[in-house]
Amino acid sequence: MRTENCLVEFFADHQCHFSTQGGMRVIELERSPGVYTCRSYLLLGEWNQLGDVNTLIDPGTDGFVLDQIEKFSTGCGKVPVEQIILTHNHFDHGASVDIFKQRYGSRVFAWCDGKDVDEILYDGHIIKAADDFLQVLHTPGHSSDSICLYNQAQRILFSGDTQLRIRSPGGVFTPEYVESLRRLAHLKIDTVYSGHDEPMTSHIQETIHTTLANVRRSRIITTEEEKAELL
């Protein structure tokens, strides 16, 4: 119980959702009502210790989440956003990166190089985040630079815009996306925090397996021209 009740009250006051399953805390920030933007997640350590790395996954289109972040207790003498990880470089996920770089000097990680990117990620990359770690999984499909981030201890997947729920066959997909789903289907996942949807907390393996089956029964493109069109 400890501080959990205090945290519940604190976060309720700030109209944010969070989870404390022990260790890393995932805070779902409110989205800007006026623009098309993604869901942003702030990862904080359980006790805001000096060695924790305050991490923001996908800052979104504008700086809307900044005010919310400023209201959180992110650790005495610590920078509220020490690093940013982009799940892919679409505007609704990363357009506001420069605002955070200017405000906090945040270090930015992404799969592909870009104006504000400090470090390029690779498949299997382990990044310290909050008081735990995230593993980078390259999951091309939505875009060629899409990644998922997996926290093994709490079985959390940050899926970005990698589509995990496709209810019926019939679309057009790349072979890379099939491979991405196949890899994700092997993971033990209790919670999915996606780029746009509500968190998924049940039947995750079944959902991914069903999606994989539906995608395999759909049209898989083979030529580079078709692929370029799709991406």
Binding residues for Zn ion, rule: CB under 5 A, are: 38, 92, 161, 195
CB of 142 to Zn ion, least distance (A): 8
In terms of CB distance, is 53 or 65 closer to Zn ion?
65
Nearer to Zn ion (CB atom), residue 25 or residue 90: 90
Question: Strand 83-85 relative to strand 55-57: parallel, antiparallel, unpaired?
Answer: parallel
Query: What is the C-alpha separation between 140 and 125, in angstroms, rounded?
Result: 16
> Of 29 and 38, which has the nearer Cβ to Zn ion?
38
Q: Which is nearer to Zn ion, 132 or 161 (CB)?
A: 161
3: left (phi over 0), alpha (psi -120 to 50) or beta: alpha
The CB-of-195 to Zn ion minimum distance in angstroms stands at: 5
CB of 161: closest distance to Zn ion in angstroms? 4
Question: In 3D, which of 82, 65, 58 has the Cα closest to residue 196?
Answer: 58
Tokens of 198: 């509500």
Element of type H or E holding 229:
helix 224-230
Strands 119-120 and 156-160: unpaired
Residues β-bridged to residue 194:
160
- DSSP states of 185-227 as a string? TTS--SEEEESSSPPB-SSHHHHHHHHHHHHHTSEEP-SHHHH
Nearer to Zn ion, 126 or 230 (CB): 230
d(CA 180, CA 162): 9
Least distance in angstroms from the C-beta of 211 to Zn ion = 18
Q: Shortest Cβ distance from residue 21 to Zn ion (Å)?
A: 26
**CB-nearer residue toward Zn ion: 39 or 138:** 39
As a residue count, the chain comes to: 231
Could you count the other beta carbons within 10 Å of the beta carbon of residue 64? 20
Q: How far is the CB of 37 from Zn ion (least distance, A)?
A: 8
